Structure 1
Amino acid sequence: MNNTMEYKGYVGSVEFSEEDGLFYGKVMGIRALISYEGATAAELVSDFHGAVEDYLALCAETHQEPERAYKGSFNVRISPELHKQAVVFAAAHNMSLNSFVERSIQQAVHAR
């Protein structure tokens, strides 16, 4: 089962409230709060698409650039010792630290 969905490059979460009997979610990876809900999966998807369309229309109306999630740059906090080990490993394998981290993440994502 997948707990995300995608529309026009935006990724939305999928949650369920047993108490309310509703599916709900929000667009992930951007500062703007874009939320949606539905009593059925089809309603949830439709409301998600509508929420993204409304957001894009509001941005166009106000002449603002829509936020884009996942620009390819992020900060990671790790222990100083692990940081040192990663730098040493990358240097020993003639790689930049960025290349090593990217390769490691690719391997982890594809292994699942």
Structure 2
Amino acid sequence: MSDFMKYKGYLGSVEYSADDNCLFGKVMFIKSLLMYEGETLQELESMFHETVDEYLKACEVDGVKPNVPCSGVLNLRLGHTRHLAVAEQANKLGVSINDLICSAIDMRLHPSA
């Protein structure tokens, strides 16, 4: 599945349970487990919004910082040979390794750009 519901920077999955004959989902890419369900897509989306709103309110009341999806920091295990090749290429281009990797990812995510 590649489509998600989006609300306040959070992504929610859309799944179906044949056993329970209902739609359900969870807020994706955060440490906290936040789930919701509904009988229709509209109800599921409404419950997703309600779940995010309740989570954010509970974090505020408790004085804790809410989890955010994908912090922007990603550790990669490239292996020695690939790491060395990336370092050499970045040096040749006069850019940082991070910039080279971000550029390669951008080209993959947006090939026509």
Aligned length: 112
The one-letter amino acid paired with 2:106 is Q
In the alignment, structure 1 segments of 5+ residues that lack a partner are: none
Matched with 1:28 is 28
Runs of 4+, deviation exceeding 4 Å: none
Matched with 1:58 is 58
Matched with 2:4 is 4
Taking structure 1 as the reference length, what is the TM-score of the superposition? 0.88
In the alignment, structure 2 segments of 5+ residues that lack a partner are: none
The one-letter amino acid paired with 2:46 is S
Comparing 25-34 with 75-84, greater Cα deviation is found at: 75-84
Taking structure 2 as the reference length, what is the TM-score of the superposition? 0.88
Residues 32-51 of structure 1 aligned to structure 2 (within 5 Å): 32-51=32-51
Q: What's the % identity of the aligned pairs? A: 37
Contact 1:3 1:15 in 2 (8 A): no
Which string of whole-angstrom CA distances, capped at 9 and with x for unpartnered residues, describes residues 38-92 of structure 1? 1211111011001001101111111112122222111122222112111111111
